[in-house]
Amino acid sequence: MTIHNLYIFSKNGTLLYYTEWSRLNKSGITKEEEAKLMYGMLFSIKSFVSKISPLDPNEGFLYFKTSKYTLHYFETPSGLKFVLNTDNISQNARELLQQLYREVYLEYVVKNPLCQLNEPIQSELFKLKVDELFKKSPLYLSRTI
């Protein structure tokens, strides 16, 4: 099982944080362009899902899957968006994203007086904690076995 990369977007679509662990295919465009492209796609999928759903879409868009990877999407009520790419057999990635939000973002960004919200996250401690959380998660660990 593999975790590829992670995006965090603010509610207005600013890329707050990006990191990657194992990404074999580079997009060939700058990180900023890629983030815009990604956000645009997510935005479209969200409105697509809410319009096309035959039933009341409770949570809306949760994930999509290609032949090679799965994109997991988690949005908070405040509009913060967490996007994680994993391989297809990884499970519970959504819980991992919720945990990231609860235990890392809230603690080390919101509670850090020196961090500006809605701006790219600079805090080294935050980066450290994100890495720690993902490396100790079973999704990441089982890759080496």
Partner 1 sequence: MRQQVIDTKMNSHTAGEADECLFEYLHTEMVNYTLSKASNKKEKEEELSRLEWMGFSVGYRIIERLTRDCSRFKDELDMIKFICTDFWSSLYHKQIDNLRTNHHGVYMLQDNSFRLLNKVGTNCNKQYLQESPRLLAFTCGLLRGSLANLGIISTVNAEISTLPSCKFHVQVQQM
> Which residues ranging from 123 to 142 are in contact with partner 1 (CB under 8 A)?
123-125, 128
Other C-beta atoms closer than 10 Å to the C-beta of 118 total 10
Cβ-Cβ contacts under 8 Å for 137 (sequence gap 6 or more) = 3, 96
- Rounded CA gap, 145 and 125, in Å? 28
Q: Smaller CB distance to partner 1: residue 20 or 103?
A: 103
- Rounded CA gap, 98 and 75, in Å? 9
- Rounded CA gap, 118 and 80, in Å? 9
Among 26, 78, 113, 144, binds partner 1 (CB under 8 A): 113
Strand extents, DSSP E, 1-145: 3-9, 15-20, 63-65, 70-75, 81-86
Q: Taking the complex as a whole, how short is the minimal distance between the CB of residue 83 and partner 1, in angstroms? A: 24
| Contacting range for partner 1; rule: CB under 8 A; set: 37-45, 56-64, 67-75, 120-128 | 120-128
- Encoded one letter per residue, x for contact with partner 1 by CB under 8 A and - for no contact, window 83-112 reads ------------------------xx--xx
Q: Smaller CB distance to partner 1: residue 77 or 113?
A: 113
Is residue 26 within the footprint of partner 1 (CB under 8 A)? no
Residues near partner 1, by CB under 8 A:
107-108, 111-114, 122-125, 128
